């Protein structure tokens, strides 16, 4: 009975201290180009969204209790959306990783990132270029 009580306390604590993630992708492309965004994880596939110039795509989601949540995204832009890049857009590295906002910006010369909070936090660092477009 004592083991059951301990187990229930641990499970309750895990549920109370559940972590949330946030993924933001902004369209900062020039020449009024639209941005196609398609994201998925092991358990979820989000529908493809077309992001207008100056707009952003933002998703909040629950992370898993094992600390292994990952979201992959594919961005496409340009004529017939032929310029593309696929990458890990959110990554939780351990159960103690408290989640974060992964802020991505699609620009003409590449894709930029800044992580706010969590174990990947970049502190006072500015946006940095993470990927080039594949032509």
Alpha carbon of 44 to those of 41, 48, 93, 99, 135: distances in Å? 5, 12, 18, 17, 28
Q: What is the pLDDT of residues 61-112, one digit of tens each?
A: 888 878 888 999 999 999 999 999 999 999 887 777 767 789 999 999 999 9
Question: How is residue 27 written in tokens?
Answer: 């369209």
Weakest mean pLDDT among 20-29, 84-93, 124-133: 124-133
Quote the pLDDT of residue 24: 95
Distance CA 85, CA 57 (A): 16
pLDDT at 58 over 80: yes
pLDDT at 113 over 80: yes
Q: 26 falls in which pLDDT band (50, 70, 90)?
A: very high
At 104 the pLDDT is 96
12 pLDDT exceeds 50?
no
Torsion of CA 29, 53, 37, 107, to 10 degrees: 20
Using the predicted structure, report yes or no on whether residue 4 has a pLDDT greater than 60: no
């Amino acid at each position: 009975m004592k083991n059951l009580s301990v187990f229930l306390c641990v499970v309750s604590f895990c549920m109370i201290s559940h972590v949330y993630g946030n993924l933001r992708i902004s369209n900062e492309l020039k020449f009024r180009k639209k941005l196609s965004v398609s994201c998925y994880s092991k358990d979820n596939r989000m529908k493809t969204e077309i992001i207008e110039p100056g707009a952003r795509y933002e998703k909040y989601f629950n992370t898993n209790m094992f600390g292994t949540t990952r979201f992959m995204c594919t961005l496409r832009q340009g004529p017939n959306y032929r310029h593309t890049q696929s990458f890990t857009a959110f990554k939780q590295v351990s159960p103690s990783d408290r989640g974060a906002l992964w802020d991505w910006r699609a620009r003409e010369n590449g894709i930029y990132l800044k992580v706010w909070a969590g174990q990947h936090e970049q502190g006072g660092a500015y946006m940095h270029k993470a990927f080039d477009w594949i032509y």
